[in-house]
């Protein structure tokens, strides 16, 4: 079922994109995480792509 509410859609996309990805193991971490929750690596990258990318 497609989301028709543009506000909700934007919110959902933001929630999905605003996270950090561990360079080492690729685990998703929260946006305010400083270390990976899986391997405790501090080398996290911000997953913040432009909105509208379909996955």
Q: Is 42 in the site for Zn ion (CB under 5 A)?
A: no
Q: Is 35 in the site for Zn ion (CB under 5 A)?
A: no
Nearby residues of 51 by Cβ (< 8 Å), 6 or more positions away: 10, 13, 14, 17
**Of 10, 38, 43, 49, which lies in the binding site for Zn ion, with binding defined by CB under 5 A?**
38
- Please state whether beta strands 19-22 and 28-29 pair in parallel, antiparallel, or not at all (unpaired): antiparallel
Cβ-based nearer residue to Zn ion, 43 or 49: 43
Q: Which range of residues in 5-13, 34-42, 47-55 is near Zn ion by CB under 5 A?
A: 34-42
Q: Is 24 in the site for Zn ion (CB under 5 A)?
A: yes
> Contact at 8 Å (CB) between 20 and 50?
no
């Amino acid at each position: 079922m497609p989301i028709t509410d543009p506000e909700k859609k934007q919110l959902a996309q933001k929630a999905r994109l605003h996270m950090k990805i561990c360079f080492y193991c690729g685990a998703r971490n929260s946006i305010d995480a400083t270390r990976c929750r899986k391997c405790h690596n501090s080398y996290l990258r911000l997953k913040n792509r432009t909105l509208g990318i379909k996955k």
